[in-house]
Amino acid sequence: MKLSEYTWPTPPGLTPFEHQKTTSEFLISNKKAFCFNEQGTGKTASVIWAADYLMHLGVIRRVLIVCPLSIMKSAWQNDLFKFAMHRKVAVAYHNDATKRKELVNKHMADFVITNFEGVAISKDQIIDGGFDLIVVDEASAYKNAQTDRWKTLRDLQAHVKGLWMLTGTPAAQSPVDAFGLARLINPKNVPKFVTHFKDQVMVQVSQYKWKPRPEATAIVHKVLQPAIRFEKRQCIDLPELTFVDREAPLTPQQSKYYAKLKKDMLLQAAGEEVSAVNAGAMLNKLLQISGGAVYTDTGEVIEFDVTSRLKVVNEVIEETSNKVLVFIPFTHTIELLEKYLLSKSVPCAVINGSVPVSKRDEIVRDFQTSDNIKVLLIQPKAASHGLTLTAADTIIWYAPCNSVETYLQANARIDRPGQVNKMTIVHITGSPAEAKVYWLLRNNINVHANTVDLFNKELAEQI
């Protein structure tokens, strides 16, 4: 079958954009390749079409998708159901390692989706599973060739025909990051040892400080080949604003207290009419647990393990070429996230109700005009009106707010005159309560007016 004769399997009324077709054609032509398209440009659809075409030809039989836990279902599974509805899909993520290995090893699914950690657990089953192609999304997770994660993928790719690695930011923190990626796709492009490559792209200016050589960008471009890249601003057929869902499953500690609170809510509501005020307060506690910190009746703060959510925020930031706004409704959670990002060397600043106007203006000016701040952590009500923050083209909702007006106004901070890029709004969801509130916000439905109904639905559902 010629590619021109291929029928792009898409839902009714939906056609692939030209940049997506071009990306698919490039991948089909390269067994091992990089796709550096920016976040929000439809990389998953391009990969699915390319893999489906190769399956039609009989070139490949099975595909393993390796990606962060947060996008296994919300991005890959959903897009496979949308763009390759005729293919069988399995998500190999399960607390039971035996069950996970069984899903990988069964030859029933055409596409198997697993997370980074699951690859090592199921390594032997993957080798024996008949996979012809491995696709790694957010491939910057494999930049360090010294890690067990990298070595596992190195071993696996020797047993498959193809390896496609996807990331919008291949060497965001240092030119040296290119080494691990290049060693997987085209090892002849780089020296055998990372120290030799570091000498090529970096120069030591003091005992502990290195800086990129002037020729580093050209070297990185040369070694990370074959590759294709589309930026959002180049994709004129993309919508101006794209919404993306990322999952951040509750940690065991969060799940325990989320379940306990729901049980207590059920006991309080048993046989009695619950007022909107009480329902709102109870649901607010569920949202606080989901976000990582709960305020007690005495004003004390109980902090929860929220590792998975923090990792998802960092994943999105790392995959974003430009600046980022993160909206966080709760004050203590802002402090928690700021501490985490600083530990990851992400330049960030905070705008909340306690920041004076003069300081706020200084932060905004710095964010808009300099490289000193990559990420702004914002309490929505403190900056949902008036501010122009068009240096960012991505907004992360760490947790949902409870007001449609605040939600819309907060999103408008980047969707203003002066914005030159396509924009992305990312919703991070970890609990049923959050998913319901996001749905109301996206559909411009008053959250307060539907609080009691929301409360009753939450109690009626399993956790």
Whether residue 313 sits in one domain with residue 220:
no
| Chain-centroid distance, C-alpha 256 | 25
In the sheet that holds 392-397, the strands lie side by side as 241-247, 423-429, 392-397, 323-327, 375-378, 348-351
Over 80: is that where the pLDDT of 266 sits?
no
277 occurs within a structural domain: no
Residues 176 and 159 in one domain: yes
- Domain membership of residue 439 (yes or no) is yes
Nearest partner of 458 among 426, 439, 435, 430, judged by Cα:
435
Question: Is the bond preceding residue 400 a cis peptide, omega within 30 degrees?
Answer: no
In a domain, 282, yes or no: no
Would you give the DSSP letter of residue 73?
I
Q: Is residue 255 part of a domain?
A: no
Between 458 and 281, the higher pLDDT residue: 281
For residue 267, pLDDT beyond 50? no
Are residue 12 and residue 143 in the same domain, yes or no?
Answer: yes
224 lies in the same domain as 327: no
Average pLDDT across the chain, whole number: 87
Is the domain of 218 the same as that of 245? no
Helical pair 432-442 and 276-291, crossing angle rounded to 10 deg: 110
| C-alpha–C-alpha distance, residues 203 and 192, integer Å | 19
Domain boundary among 208, 233, 258: 233
CA distance 347 to 363: 12
Least confident of 143-147, 235-239, 354-358, 440-444: 235-239
Residue that is last in its domain, among 200, 233, 266? 233
Domain that includes residue 131, residue range: 3-233
Domain boundary residue, one of 205, 233, 261: 233
Q: What is the CATH number of the domain that holds 354?
A: 3.40.50.300
Whether 323 and 204 map to the same domain: the answer is no
Tell me, yes or no, whether 310 and 186 share the same domain.
no
pLDDT digits (tens, 9 = 90+) for 129-173: 999 999 999 999 999 999 999 999 999 999 999 999 999 988 888
Does residue 291 lie in a domain region? Answer: no
Shared-domain flag, residues 12 and 146:
yes
Token digits of residue 296: 């007690």
Instruction: Specify if 269 maps to a domain.
Output: no
CA distances 253 to 68, 310, 363, 454, Å, are 21, 15, 35, 24
- Does 91 fall in a domain? yes
Query: Would you state the pLDDT for residue 276?
Result: 42
Q: Please, which residues have CB within 8 angstroms of residue 439's CB and are 6 or more apart in sequence? A: none
In the predicted structure, residue 275 carries a pLDDT above the cut 80:
no
Looking at residue 191, the DSSP 8-state letter turns out to be -
Residue 90 CA to residue 105 CA, distance in Å, equals 11
In the numeric block, which tokens belong to residue 439?
A: 């749905």
pLDDT at 294 over 90: no
Longest Cα pair distance anywhere in the chain, in angstroms? 72
- Please, is 67 exposed, middle or buried when counting C-beta atoms within 10 Å of its C-beta (0-12, 13-18, 19+)? buried
Residue 265 lies in a domain: no
Report pLDDT for 273: 46
Least confident of 19-28, 73-82, 119-128, 232-241: 232-241
* Number of domains the chain is built from: 2
CA distance 409 to 381: 9
- Residue 225 shares a structural domain with residue 310: no
77-132, pLDDT tens digit by residue? 999 999 999 999 999 886 667 777 777 777 779 999 999 988 998 899 999 999 99
CATH classification of the domain holding 60: 3.40.50.10810
The predicted model scores a pTM of 0.84
**How buried is residue 239: exposed, middle or buried, by Cβ count under 10 Å (0-12/13-18/19+)?**
exposed
| CA nearest neighbour of 35 among 327, 230, 203 | 230
Task: Quickly tell me which residue has 């319901």 as its tokens.
Answer: 436
222 with 245, same domain: the answer is no
Residues 154 and 27 in one domain: yes
Residues 350 and 214 in one domain: no
